[in-house]
């Protein structure tokens, strides 16, 4: 077999651990040849590939980012480098020229949507779920998420000391796109007093009342808000539009918008901070190293079994797989009756609105 591996979309901790596990499994147990596709689908468009060997992947388990590089706007069905033209036929032709028997695609919902179409064109694909947002359908966990949550929790703990010292309201804005998983788990782990999710539009006055009460009782308030959150009757805060990206909307700035809403209602000082790409950089946590290795191992097993057109998932803490078309372009939101939401509410955490 000749197997290609690519990492699509944005980078995140754990990508190299997946590449390592897929490569080592196939090299040690089959006669497969492994080719790394550089910078996601861009490598298939621009013909940039390189061989992967045991020596080239052995030491990359704890390394952040992707040794193959990533590209979050290289959609072969709408390639920005060719004025939005469909170059998928050229991609398939290059794959055939390389002699690829299958492609292991590591990425999020946008990447899986592309992978599903590539599979339908005749190049067999195995998908591996990757996103710090933890918002892919049918999988309980995606690698990179735990690492992002750890950054959020640590940041909230650091913000708490300055909030307490100066009697401030401190707002931390997390990533997560249209789902609130990072804010939810990061907020709980970091001791936030309010967690604001995209799934539940917030009421500024409800949050102001919480801050007033805490100002009287404790002197400070920590708020963790997801970038996709919006006020009741309002819209998400959009930072920019990228026309040729699989996800053209770039969110950002809701933390500062909430700061302005609260500052006009409160007597104390309100500050906001946007974590941004700090959440997706650096080395993976031990949990993500283990999960990434599991996913890579399972993806290699699927290649051996020729279980193509499917994506690895974690269900009931066990690896399994589902058809790519059940994941492509879909988002897993936080259910408002989720046990973690109930847990947070039971210890007094506000969600900025009535549930």
Nearest to 148 by CA among 8, 13, 333: 13
Query: What CA–CA distance (Å, rounded) separates 314 from 320?
Result: 6
- Tell me which of 11, 86, 101, 133 is the catalytic residue: 133
Query: What CA–CA distance (Å, rounded) separates 112 from 107?
Result: 6
Residues placed in the known binding site for ATP: 10, 108-111
Per the listing, tokens 């936030």 go with 192
283 three-class SS: coil
Query: What CA–CA distance (Å, rounded) separates 237 from 196?
Result: 14
Q: Find the radius of gyration of the CA atoms of the chain.
A: 22
Q: What is the DSSP string of 145-170?
A: HHHHHHHHHHHHHHHHHHHHHHT-EE
154 is catalytic: no
Residues placed in the known binding site for Mg(2+): 109
How far apart, in Å, do the first and last CA atoms of the chain sit? 53
Residue 210 host element (H or E): helix 204-217
**Is residue 223 packed enough to be buried (19+ CB in 10 Å), middle (13-18) or exposed (0-12)?**
buried
Residue 120 makes CB contacts below 8 A (sequence gap 6+) with: none
Query: What CA–CA distance (Å, rounded) separates 131 from 304?
Result: 25
Query: What CA–CA distance (Å, rounded) separates 313 from 142?
Result: 8
Q: What is the DSSP string of 178-190?
A: T--HHHHHHHHHH
35 three-class SS: strand
Q: What are the catalytic residues?
A: 133
């Amino acid at each position: 077999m000749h197997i290609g591996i690519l990492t699509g979309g944005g980078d995140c901790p754990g990508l190299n651990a997946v590449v390592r596990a897929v490569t080592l499994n196939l090299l040690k147990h089959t006669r497969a040849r492994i080719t790394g596709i550089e910078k996601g689908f861009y490598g298939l468009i621009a013909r940039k590939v390189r061989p992967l060997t045991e020596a080239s992947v052995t030491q990359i388990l704890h390394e952040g980012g992707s040794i193959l590089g990533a590209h979050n706007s290289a959609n072969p069905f709408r390639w920005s480098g060719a004025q939005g033209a469909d170059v998928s036929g050229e991609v398939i032709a290059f794959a055939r020229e390389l002699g690829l028997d299958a492609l292991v695609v590591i990425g999020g919902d946008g990447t899986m949507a592309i992978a599903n179409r590539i599979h339908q064109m005749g190049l067999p694909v195995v998908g591996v779920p990757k996103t710090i947002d933890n918002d892919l359908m049918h999988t309980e966990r995606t690698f990179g998420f735990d690492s992002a949550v750890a950054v959020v929790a640590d940041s909230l703990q650091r913000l708490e000391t300055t909030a307490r010292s100066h009697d401030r309201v401190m707002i931390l804005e997390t990533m997560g796109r249209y789902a609130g998983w990072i804010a939810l788990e990061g907020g709980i782990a970091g001791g936030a007093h309010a967690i604001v999710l995209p799934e539940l539009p917030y009421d500024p006055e409800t949050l102001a009342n919480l801050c007033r009460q805490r100002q009287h009782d404790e002197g400070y308030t920590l708020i963790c808000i997801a970038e996709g959150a919006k006020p009741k009757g309002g819209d998400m805060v959009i930072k920019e539009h990228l026309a040729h990206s699989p996800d053209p909307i770039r969110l950002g700035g809701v933390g500062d918008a909430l700061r302005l809403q609260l500052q006009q209602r409160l007597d104390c000082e309100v500050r906001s901070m946007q974590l941004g790409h700090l959440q997706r950089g650096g080395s993976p946590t031990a949990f993500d190293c283990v999960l990434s290795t599991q996913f890579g191992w399972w993806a290699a097993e699927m290649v051996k079994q020729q279980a193509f057109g499917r994506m690895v998932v974690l269900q009931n803490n066990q690896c399994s797989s589902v058809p790519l078309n059940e994941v492509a372009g879909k988002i897993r939101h936080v259910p408002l009756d989720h046990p973690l939401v109930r847990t947070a509410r039971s210890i007094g955490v506000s969600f900025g609105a009535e549930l």
